[in-house]
Structure 1
Amino acid sequence: MTWRRITLVVAVVLALVAVGGWRWWHNHPPYGPEALAVTSSLTFVSPQEARAVLGDNVPAPVPNEGDQLVLGRVSWEAPPEPFDGGYFAIFLIDKRTNIKVGNFAVSSPRPEAISAGSAGVENRIAERYPWLKGAGDIKDGDTWWSHGSRLAVSDAEASPLTFVAQIPYVKRPGLAAARTATAPIALSDLLLALAYLGPDGQVYWAQRLQG
């Protein structure tokens, strides 16, 4: 083997090592869930209790007959490093159908840092954690649908976070039941989870909180 070929081989090996090292660093969590000492709870509440918990500045859901209201609390200690473009994603999922609950009212010290919705990168959560399959889109034939919402937290100082989720009662479920969590539901049917995603959609980790 000539020196030129040896030099080329060494350069290629070093490049591969550098790429692998960058990927490891890029996807390596800055800290694990144990650093946050997360606490959580889920309980059913009445409309009056929901209004009292959320306070005057947060409109509480107005349930129709048969709807259920679920009060959730999630709190964490200040993380050792800032989000730096990443975010926490809080999922409330009907385990019977793997569909996210869709309607939330939220109270937090940083309400501007909380948003409800979904993002395509969160499909990676479902791929990595089979128990959190409901975090991703739902396939219907050749089409993928995004049903329900999660809560995205862009500021670590948004703790403690309190939400009231409205779960509708559908007299004739049909297609509606395939696209949303529906009542009647038991607390044991609900999964509450927290995931941490990086600024480029890296799935750092996910933790089961309830269910």
Structure 2
Amino acid sequence: MVAVILAIIVAMVGVEAWRWWHNHPPYGPEALAIQSSLRFVSYEEAQAALGENANAPLASGRDQLVLGRISWQAPPKALDGGYFAIFLIDKRTHHKPEVIAVPAPQEESVGLGSAGIESRIEERYPWLRGAGSLKVRDNEWRDNGNRLGVADEKASPLTFVALFPYLDKPHWEPTIATAPVAMSDLLLALVYMGPDGQVYWAQRLQG
């Protein structure tokens, strides 16, 4: 009986040790020395920042364009199936932009979209509400724009342009970030996601 109890204890300790190892980040954000900036730009400025082989989001009237730049030094280890998720969120609505453009050379390593697994992020980091889908009521979730997913740690420095469209008296509640927006409304964050959906860490960059 004692041997059985000891075996169970050893198994439980082994499971907990594996969970710790599996969810333990290979390194923290301080290893990357991350730098970032955000500013409003005109369409012409956005196009110049992205280069001639990329198309800046079309903007007119009261639409707004935000130019972001993020850089990090080479991490101690490769991403190996993990990725960096970059979030730009309107803190008032917890919505993200739908359209975000990057320079052509980085389109292969930087993707636009969302992932259901990213709803775990705000469970650990409540200040990042909106990183995943937004819960509007029991068993009902709503998509709320896109983020950038960086699969190649060598993609630094990264430039992007996000569109905040102005909707004139919409008949529905927008599910994406819209104009008018002030710089103080914006939250920029970088999250390190593991290959199995682990939320390794999140770093607030702006806002």
TM-score bracket relative to the smaller structure:
over 0.9
Residue 42 of structure 1, CA deviation? 0.2
Q: Letter of the 2:29 partner, please give it.
A: P
Alignment of 1:1-211 (within 5 A): 5-107=1-103, 110-142=106-138, 143-177=140-174, 179-211=175-207
Alignment check: 8 A CA contact 1:93 1:191 kept: yes
Number of corresponding residues: 206
Q: Letter of the 2:11 partner, please give it.
A: A
Q: Letter of the 1:45 partner, please give it.
A: V
Residue 109 of structure 1, CA deviation? 5.1
Alignment check: 8 A CA contact 2:37 2:206 kept: yes
In the alignment, the residues of structure 1 paired with residue 105 and residue 158 of structure 2 have an alpha-carbon distance, to the nearest angstrom, of: 8
In the alignment, the residues of structure 1 paired with residue 194 and residue 130 of structure 2 have an alpha-carbon distance, to the nearest angstrom, of: 20
In the alignment, the residues of structure 1 paired with residue 28 and residue 47 of structure 2 have an alpha-carbon distance, to the nearest angstrom, of: 34
Question: Structure 1 or 2: larger helix share?
Answer: 1
- Structure 1 segments unaligned to the other structure (5+ residues): none
Q: Letter of the 2:184 partner, please give it.
A: S
Alignment check: 8 A CA contact 1:109 1:159 kept: no
| Higher radius of gyration, 1 or 2 | 1
In the alignment, the residues of structure 2 paired with residue 108 and residue 201 of structure 1 have an alpha-carbon distance, to the nearest angstrom, of: 27
Residue 144 of structure 1, CA deviation? 0.5
Residue 167 of structure 1, CA deviation? 0.3
Runs of 4+ displaced beyond 3 Å: none
Residue 111 of structure 1, CA deviation? 2.6
- Structure 2 segments unaligned to the other structure (5+ residues): none
Q: Letter of the 2:159 partner, please give it.
A: T
Residue 172 of structure 1, CA deviation? 1.1
In the alignment, the residues of structure 1 paired with residue 91 and residue 3 of structure 2 have an alpha-carbon distance, to the nearest angstrom, of: 56
Residue 175 of structure 1, CA deviation? 2.1
Farther off after superposition, 168-177 or 5-14 = 168-177
In the alignment, the residues of structure 2 paired with residue 101 and residue 62 of structure 1 have an alpha-carbon distance, to the nearest angstrom, of: 14
Instruction: State the TM-score, normalized to the length of structure 2.
Output: 0.96
Q: Letter of the 1:85 partner, please give it.
A: G
Instruction: State the TM-score, normalized to the length of structure 1.
Output: 0.95
Q: Letter of the 1:146 partner, please give it.
A: D
Residue 108 of structure 1, CA deviation? 6.9
Residue 101 of structure 1, CA deviation? 1.4
Q: CA RMSD in A?
A: 1.1
Alignment check: 8 A CA contact 1:40 1:72 kept: yes
In the alignment, the residues of structure 2 paired with residue 108 and residue 154 of structure 1 have an alpha-carbon distance, to the nearest angstrom, of: 15
1:88-134 Cα offsets, whole Å, 9 max, x none, are 00000000101111111112754301101100110110111010011
Q: Helix, strand or coil for the counterpart of 1:199?
A: coil
